[in-house]
Amino acid sequence: MFYYTYILKSLKNNSLYIGYTTDLRKRFKEHNSGKNLATKPYIPYKLIFYEAFLNRIDAKNREEYLKGGYGRKTIKTLLNRYLDIQSDSKII
């Protein structure tokens, strides 16, 4: 089984959402159908990045890292071309 850390971008306000899950397709559908209260006001979403891990703790740690200060810098480094093309994004 894989565990996924992912980044979604709101097509409504360009904010970014970071999470982790065992079923990326199902979780993406849940976000876009409004089943997640934190993301519901900003649907629809586009999946812009994901990483797969063999261990749940590794995926959770990566999610926490990406939500922090150095993680935001990492996101900008990993996705700099994509984010430069898009308007300013903020992390929710």
pLDDT at residue 84 greater than cutoff 90: no
When pLDDT is cut at 50, 70 and 90, the band that residue 83 belongs to is confident
pTM: 0.87
> Is residue 89 predicted with pLDDT exceeding 80?
no
What the chain holds in terms of domains, given with CATH numbers, is 3-85 (3.40.1440)
| CA distances (Å), origin 55, targets 6, 8, 22, 52, 81 | 15, 21, 10, 9, 30
